[in-house]
Structure 1
Amino acid sequence: MSGPGFSSQPDAALLSVQYLRAAAALVVMFFHVSVLTQETWGLDPERVDHVGAAGVDLFFVISGFIMAMIVARQGAFDGKDFWIRRIARIVPAYWVITFFVFALAALLPSLFQTTTAELLHLLLSLSFLAVDSGDGSTVPMLGVGWTLNYEMFFYAIVALTAGLFADRRLLGTSGVIIALVLAGVLIDPANPTLAFYTNPILLEFVFGVFVFRIWLRARSRKVGLAPLVVLVAGVLLLVWQWERPLVDWRPYYWGLPATAVLYGALQVVTFKSAFLARLGDWSYALYLTHVFVVTFYIKFVVPLRVLGDMPWEIHYLVMTILAFGVAAGFYTLVERPLSRWVLNRLRPATPEPQRAAATGPAE
């Protein structure tokens, strides 16, 4: 079955997705800097940079967009290849960090407040299942990994509807997600697993699918200043909520502005920057590793007397440079080699030109 006519060739506009990935990972890091600073020194919790967590919402909207783009490509949908690419992209790097956390919890338990080296918790974390490991929480060993549990759940729905029911427009995927969210609103489940898989945050994947459909139609038309207005409006809405605490309906407060940012950026941010694209390549590594860098810096570096009263702007800059440096090393030495190894082991040999054409710049 052929797709709806979307070419698999990379589009310059998709570079904006790479740039946004880097920005999303960076603001998530800033959120954790703010939270850990408050926790470490008991500063005013009202001054926490809450909206930095909206980087996660932007990631989810981007994920919805990318999955819609992949499924819409010309040619038959290959469910096996879809899963192989998702596994190679997500699993190896995450497993390495998860095993690292487990080892730290076993050897240096004093470093952690709640995380312990429990085998059941490790296995649940590695399986990407949001299941209560015994304490009423579904959070995996690597705290930020809860977002990857949502990602894998979304991929499963996409593979089911596109692979079994030829849902190339992801209408079925969107319908399933909307039904789950409505069920969660009506039932308000007390079970943490059911609450997780019916959380309204799932709607942000649907937002991304919607952005793809709109972008696909608009990319060959003259759209004027509308995308720029939408982009600026999305950014301003997020800035306006800078210190708004986390809320139940974050898809409304943060998801919709993130959707506006993605749509606007796709149309407006079309310049090429090898530097920003490289930061986008490192975004997943940054997301997985930044907590270690930030925690070490805040707990052990900032208190050093030699730093004196150095402004926090300088601390932020130093942490950003260190975090991206660690991310670059992790990407180069761990993430990329392991992903390629898994991809080559699981996927049958493909002629190089065909393989290059099947790989978009933002997968």
Structure 2
Amino acid sequence: MNRLPNLDPLRFFLASIVLLFHLPQLSANQGLPYFDGLPIFHRGLEAVYMFFVLSGFLIIRLIYRAKLKGTFSIKDFYIRRILRIFPLYYLVLGFGLVFYNVILPFLNIPFEINYTWKEAFLYNVFFLPNVFAKIYEPGGIIEILWSIGIEEQFYLVIAPLLFLINVKWILRVLSLLLLGYFILYWSDVFEILRKYTFVFFYLFSGGVIAILEERKMLEFLKRSWFFPFIICVATLLYFVTDWFLLEAMWLRSLLTCSLFGFFIHSLAFNNRGVEVNSKILNHLGSISYGIYMFHAIVLNAVVFLFLKLEFLQNLNDNLTIILMLLLTFAGTLLIAHLSYTYFELYFLKLKNRFRK
């Protein structure tokens, strides 16, 4: 299956921004030196939001194209999603529960557990890790699974919905869902949606952009280099400056929904022939799911080493910050690569049996 250009390197950069976001947080929490003086260190949530837009863009595009061919199967769709998401999801979830409930007590490291194993099972197995994370604050290794829950919940809704809708109505329905859900999310009546971060409008927005492209309704953006250039510069500035941090959160969400969607479209379809062909970057993008899932584990291990090893404690602050960053990145990339090569690929190869 052909992959759209430039999106694998984007995945890697987004996963890296999430890591940069969490590293100083845990360091500060444990009394270690940290640096978060640049705006990019505070864009981890926005990086996840762009992941959502990208996911909606790719998944809805895939379903739409399959419906046009008359080959869309809900069963095959769910099996492919299960094979991609579940193995690593449950591996990290299981490790996280053992880490906080068994390993930390064994090491005499205090950590408050305010949930039962039954509660952990029910919330995380039945696609509500975002609710579990918000209610119980079970620790970073488990809390990062909130975003996987949003994806799972979205898949449960979008596949049967698009299966039932006539293909000519998909764009209208998605546009209405995007607008309606965005309004509901930011209304005071449905505050619970914000409380548990049910940000499905990001996925809907990606889907709308994908359908617009499939229907050749974005050709006007391709007539000049100006549009993709402005979109890419604006996206870069969003991550490296504070210029676009609008005070009204609904307005900031509206901006990111639009900007991220058109940015992804520019990279994939309006790149003016500019493609990242680096095998290394493309591979790092392929293992970005593992980078996201394992980075909290590696980060905890690195912090533990700096707290317990005397020679590391004697380093100056700047060297400590740099070394922690390098070790966390290197360890995360190594484990993600090994996981992808020797664990995830087994399940990914099975996905080919469920493609038409």
TM-score by length of 2: 0.80
After superposition, the CA RMSD in angstroms is: 3.5
Give the Cα separation in 1 of the matches to 2:200 and 2:48.
12
Structure 1 residues 181, 260: closer, same or farther in 2, change over 3 A?
Answer: closer
Matched, 1:88 2:83: yes
Partner of 2:275: 270
Alignment match of 1:301 (pick from 302, 306, 323): 306
Residue 157 of structure 2 aligns with an amino acid whose one-letter code is I
Task: Name the amino acid aligned to 1:157.
Answer: V
In the TM superposition, residue 339 of structure 1 has moved relative to its aligned partner by 4.2
Return the offset for 1:318.
3.0
> Aligned equivalents of 2:301 and 2:287: distance in 1?
20
1:282 to 284, 287, 293: 287
1:72-87 aligned at under 5 Å gives the runs 72-73=64-65, 74-76=68-70, 77-87=72-82
Q: Deviations over 1:195-222 (max 9, x none)?
A: 55784x3221122123324544357954
- Whether the 8 Å CA contact 1:131–1:138 is kept in 2: the answer is no
Q: Which residue of 2 aligns with 1:27?
A: 17
- Once the two structures are overlaid, the 10-residue window that deviates more, 142-151 or 296-305, is 296-305
Question: What residue is the counterpart of 1:166 in the other structure?
Answer: 166
Match of residue 105 from structure 1: 100
| Structure 1 CA distance for aligned equivalents of residues 259 and 345 of structure 2 | 31
More helix, by proportion: 2
- Alignment of structure 1 residues 222-233 onto 2, 5 Å: 222-233=223-234
CA distance, structure 2, for counterparts of residue 230 and residue 134 of structure 1: 34
Q: Unpaired segments of 5 or more residues in structure 1?
A: 1-8, 359-363
Q: Distance in 2 between matches of 1:39 and 1:246?
A: 27
- Measure the CA separation in 2 of the matches of 1:60 and 1:18: 14
Within 5 Å, which residues of 2 pair with 1:97-246? Answer: 97-110=92-105, 112-114=111-113, 118-129=117-128, 136=135, 142-167=142-167, 169-189=170-190, 192=192, 194-195=193-194, 199=198, 201-216=199-214, 217=216, 218=218, 222-241=223-242
**Inter-CA distance 86–139: structure 2 relative to 1 (3 Å threshold):** farther
Instruction: Indicate the residue corresponding to 1:361 in structure 2.
Output: none
Superposed displacement of residue 45, structure 1: 9.8
Which position in structure 2 is the counterpart of 1:259? 261
Asked whether 1:291 is paired with 2:304, we answer no
Which among 53, 57, 62 is matched to residue 54 of structure 2?
A: 62
> Pick from 341, 347, 352: which aligns with 1:332?
341
Counterpart secondary structure, 2:2: coil
Is the 1:61–1:205 contact (alpha carbons within 8 Å) kept by the matching residues of 2? Answer: yes
Cα deviation 1:6-54 (Å, max 9, x = unaligned): xxx625xx13111111111110011011211221227799848221332
Which secondary structure state, in structure 2, belongs to the residue aligned with residue 241 of structure 1? coil
Larger CA deviation: 250-259 vs 329-338: 250-259
User: Normalising by structure 1, what TM-score?
Assistant: 0.78
Segments of 5+ residues of structure 2 without an aligned counterpart are none
From the superposition, tell whether residues 88 and 134 of structure 1 become closer, same or farther in structure 2 (CA, over 3 Å).
Answer: closer
1:101-124 CA distances to partner (integer Å, 9 max, x unpaired)?
A: 222233235454447552221232
Question: The residue matched to 1:276 in structure 2 has which SS?
Answer: helix
Query: Shift in Å at residue 283 of structure 1?
Result: 0.4
